[in-house]
Every structure is written in structure tokens, then in C-alpha cells.
């Protein structure tokens, strides 16, 4: 006979649905499954693609030794009851394209897939990965009517871990010993906060001269474009998938982790009704709180410029929906 505690136990594992089985979506599926974080349902509009990726990953299970279920499908019904929906559907950049060049096409795709996913998972937390990131995150929130804390965009973690890597590469230190913080929009106007970048607590301003720091910040701003130029066939996907996976883990494990994410601002940093990269505590309710760090006048002006640019594109995207 089972004890009362056992009989009340839920048999359902956490489930993450990933919409878009391209480079980012398939790599994110692999990361989540191999870390045994959740079962994954991978959805794409192209028939066979998510099924093939799911089967390929399933066939590695005996070596990777995880027990996550992986389903590939074109049918949103299979995503029902997901805890998290990660949206990667849409076009990726080609050389010479900015993230904003993707605006019109990805607006339609992202709004459509968010509605379809929401219909089967009304309680899910949405993580948006499709670019232009801050705009797409706003559209998902606006068109789903979800509470703002349940919608967030993945960019700050990626931008910060790019800067973290560049600092480590420059100094020849362990990457894990470096912390970096990048705020603002995911684009040329992102705002790396040099004062909050350290190597085991030592500010990088003590370890590098100003010109070196400026060079690394510039490389971070162009981090996505640098990869697009090298690959020629699409954008970065390993680091974006790792970054999204970190957010998934913080939510599923209720870690209350302080991570930069595109979150809905309601007056924080003097900005209203916009999604922008800010430090957030992420846990099982999504964005549990937004941390307002002190900014210098120069940093505040840069954040406001970033906000103006995102707002302009939000208006263009919203107009294109009518
Ligand atoms: N429904 C479902 N899937 C779709 C839809 C749709 N309406 N439209 C496109 N897709 C799928 C494509 O079929 C493709 O498999 O989205 C996937 C996108 O994959 P890639 O082209 O490989 O792009 P990827 O590199 O994964 O980037 C996806 O993430 O980082 C961002 O800028 C990047 O916006 C881009 C997104």
C-alpha cells in the first residue's frame, strides 16, 4: 500500500517546449535533456525536422545517460501542460543584417507561435530568444496578456557571458572566475557595466587599461555579428542555447538566481512599458523581482538611448500587426 505522501506525488516531470527546431532550438533541447532538467517537446513548422532531431538525441541517450523524454512534433497539442515555452522560431541573421532587419518577418512568426503555445499551456513561463529580442519579448507579452513576470527575453545572459569570455581570454584567467554584467537592449546599444565586471571580486579596471576595456566592450556589442560573419550561414547558437538553458534551470529549480534578462519595466530605471535587459531574480514564478543598480549619468543616458531604439521598433512591429 502506498503511503499518503507517495499517493499525492505527481508523476509528471517538468516539461519545456521549444518552438523552432533550428540551430538554437535543437541545441537548447540537447542542453536541457543532457542536464536532465526536464522533458522537452520540440516544435517546428517544417515536417520531419523536429522529429529527426528528437530521434537523433534519443539515440544518444544510452551514452549521455539522461532520462529526459524528447518529443519532436509539428502539433502544438503535444506541448500541452508545459512549464516553460522557449521561442526560437523565426529567421536568423545573415552576414550584413542587423537584428532589426528581422523585425517584420519574425513579428508575425513569434506572435503566431506564442498564441498557439499559450492555448495548450496557459500557466507556462515564456522565454523569448528570437531576435530582435526585446521587441519580440514585448510582442509575446502584449499578445498573450500574460502577467509580465511570466514573460522574459534571453539576451543579457548571452551578452554577459560573451564579455566574461573576452575578459578571461584577454587576461588568461579562468572564465568561471570572471563575472560580467551587461544591461540594455540586445543590440548595438547594449550597456556593459564595466564597474560590475570583476575577476574574483577584483574590478577589471584594476587589471586592464581603459583602451583594452573599450576594445572588449566593442567586441561584446558586435559579438553576434562576429559569429554571423564567420559562419556565413546563420547566427550563433551554442552560447545562446547555453544562456537560455541557464534561465530554464533557474526557473525549474526555483533558484532565485540573479541574472540579466529582458524584463517588463514599470518605472524601474525611469522606463515604463518596455522590455529591456536588467538584472532580475529568476525563480519558479518567472521574474520574481528587478534589481535597480546605481547607474552613472553616462550609463543612464546609454540605457535611455537603448530604450528609445527598442520602443521605436516595438511601435513599428505593433503597427505591422494591424
Ligand atoms: N513555426 C514554427 N517554427 C518556425 C516557424 C513557425 N511559424 N517559422 C520558422 N520556424 C522555424 C524554422 O523552420 C527553423 O527551423 O524556426 C527555426 C529557426 O531556426 P534557424 O533558422 O536555425 O535559426 P536559429 O539560428 O535557431 O535562430 C533562431 O534565435 O538567436 C535567435 O537571431 C536568432 O531569431 C533567431 C532565432
pLDDT of residue 35: 97
- Write out pLDDT tens, residues 289-310: 999 999 999 999 999 999 999 9
**Whole-number mean pLDDT of the chain?**
94
Residues with CB under 6 A from ligand 1: 19-25, 44-46, 49, 88-90, 92-93, 102, 106, 109, 112-113, 129-131, 234-235, 237, 240
Confidence at 132, pLDDT banded by 50, 70, 90:
very high
Q: Which residue's CA is minimally distant from atom 34 of ligand 1?
A: 130
Q: Name the catalytic one among 162, 186, 281, 311.
A: 186
CATH architecture of the domain 12-153 equals 3-Layer(aba) Sandwich (3.40)
Query: Grid coordinates in use for 240?
Result: 545562446
How long is the chain?
322
Which of 93-97, 127-131, 152-156, 246-250 shows the lowest per-residue confidence on average (mean pLDDT)?
A: 93-97
Predicted pLDDT of residue 93: 78
Q: Is the pLDDT of residue 73 over 80?
A: yes
Q: What is the pLDDT of residue 99?
A: 79
Q: Give CA–CA dist 88/104, Å, rounded.
A: 16
**How far apart are the CA of 293 and the centre of ligand 1, in A?**
34
Burial class from Cβ neighbours inside 10 Å (0-12, 13-18, 19+) for residue 260 reads: buried
- Give mean pLDDT, residues 313-320: 94
Nearest atom in ligand 1 to 93's CA? 32
pLDDT digits (tens, 9 = 90+) for 215-236: 999 999 999 999 999 999 989 9
Nearest CA to ligand 1 atom 22: 22
The Cα 237–Cα 227 span in angstroms is 9
When pLDDT is cut at 50, 70 and 90, the band that residue 187 belongs to is: confident
**171: pLDDT strictly greater than 70:** yes
Q: Using CA positions, which residue lies closest to atom 9 of ligand 1?
A: 90
Distance 133 CA to ligand 1 centre (A): 13
What angle, 0 to 180 degrees and rounded to 10, lies between the N-to-C axes of helices 297-321 and 133-144?
50
**Which residue is closest in CA terms to ligand 1's atom 18?**
22
Mean pLDDT of 90-119: 90
Mean pLDDT across 174-192: 93
Pocket test for ligand 1, best of 24, 112, 230 (most atoms within 8 A of CB): 24
pLDDT at 4: 52
Q: Which CATH number describes the domain made up of 156-320?
A: 3.90.110.10
Round to whole Å and give the CA distance between 190 and 203. Answer: 20
Catalytic annotation on 186? yes
pLDDT at 8: 67
Instruction: Specify whether the CB–CB gap between 79 and 42 falls below 8 A.
Output: no
- In the predicted structure, residue 192 carries a pLDDT above the cut 70: yes
Q: What is the pLDDT of residue 1?
A: 43
* 92 pLDDT above the threshold of 80: no
State yes or no: pLDDT of 6 exceeds 70: no
Domain boundaries, the chain: 12-153, 156-320
Strands (E), 55-179: 70-73, 84-87, 125-128, 151-153, 178-179
Query: How far away, in angstroms, is 267 Cα from ligand 1 center?
Result: 32
Measured in Å, residue 142 CA sits from the centre of ligand 1 at 21
Q: Note the pLDDT of residue 322.
A: 82
Query: Worst-scoring range by mean pLDDT, 35-44, 93-102, 116-125, 276-285?
Result: 93-102
Write out pLDDT tens, residues 138-161. 999 999 999 999 999 999 999 999
CB distance 18 to 88 below 8 Å: yes
pLDDT at 215: 97
CA 80 – ligand 1 centroid, Å: 21
Stated pTM of the model: 0.95
Amino acid at each position: 500500500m502506498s503511503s499518503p505522501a507517495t499517493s499525492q506525488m505527481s508523476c509528471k516531470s517538468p516539461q519545456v517546449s521549444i518552438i523552432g527546431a533550428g540551430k538554437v532550438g535543437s541545441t537548447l533541447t540537447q542542453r536541457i535533456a543532457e542536464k536532465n532538467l526536464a522533458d522537452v517537446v520540440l516544435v517546428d513548422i517544417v515536417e520531419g525536422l523536429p522529429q529527426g532531431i528528437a530521434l537523433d538525441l534519443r539515440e544518444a541517450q544510452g551514452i549521455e545517460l539522461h532520462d529526459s523524454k524528447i518529443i519532436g512534433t509539428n502539433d502544438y497539442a503535444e506541448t500541452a501542460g508545459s512549464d516553460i515555452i522557449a521561442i526560437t522560431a523565426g529567421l536568423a541573421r545573415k552576414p550584413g543584417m542587423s537584428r532589426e532587419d528581422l523585425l517584420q518577418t519574425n513579428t508575425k512568426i513569434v506572435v503566431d507561435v506564442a498564441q498557439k503555445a499559450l492555448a495548450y499551456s496557459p500557466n507556462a513561463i515564456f522565454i523569448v530568444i528570437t531576435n530582435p529580442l526585446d521587441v519580440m519579448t514585448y510582442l509575446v507579452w502584449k499578445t498573450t496578456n500574460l502577467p509580465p513576470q511570466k514573460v522574459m527575453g534571453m539576451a543579457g545572459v548571452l551578452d554577459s557571458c560573451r564579455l566574461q569570455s573576452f575578459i578571461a581570454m584577454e587576461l588568461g584567467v579562468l572564465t568561471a572566475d570572471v563575472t560580467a554584467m551587461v544591461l540594455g537592449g540586445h543590440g548595438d546599444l547594449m550597456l556593459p557595466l564595466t564597474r560590475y565586471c570583476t575577476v574574483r571580486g577584483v574590478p577589471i579596471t584594476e587589471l586592464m587599461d581603459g583602451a583594452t576595456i573599450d576594445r572588449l566592450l566593442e567586441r561584446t556589442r558586435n559579438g553576434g555579428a562576429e559569429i554571423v560573419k564567420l559562419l556565413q550561414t546563420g547566427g550563433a547558437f551554442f552560447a545562446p542555447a547555453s544562456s537560455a538553458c541557464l534561465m530554464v534551470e533557474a526557473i525549474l529549480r526555483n533558484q532565485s538566481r540573479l541574472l540579466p534578462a529582458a524584463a517588463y519595466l514599470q518605472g524601474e530605471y525611469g522606463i515604463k512599458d518596455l522590455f529591456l535587459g536588467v538584472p532580475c531574480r529568476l525563480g519558479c514564478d518567472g521574474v520574481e523581482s528587478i534589481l535597480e543598480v546605481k547607474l552613472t549619468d553616462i550609463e543612464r543616458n546609454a540605457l535611455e538611448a537603448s530604450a528609445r531604439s527598442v520602443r521605436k521598433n516595438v511601435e513599428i512591429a505593433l503597427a505591422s500587426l494591424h
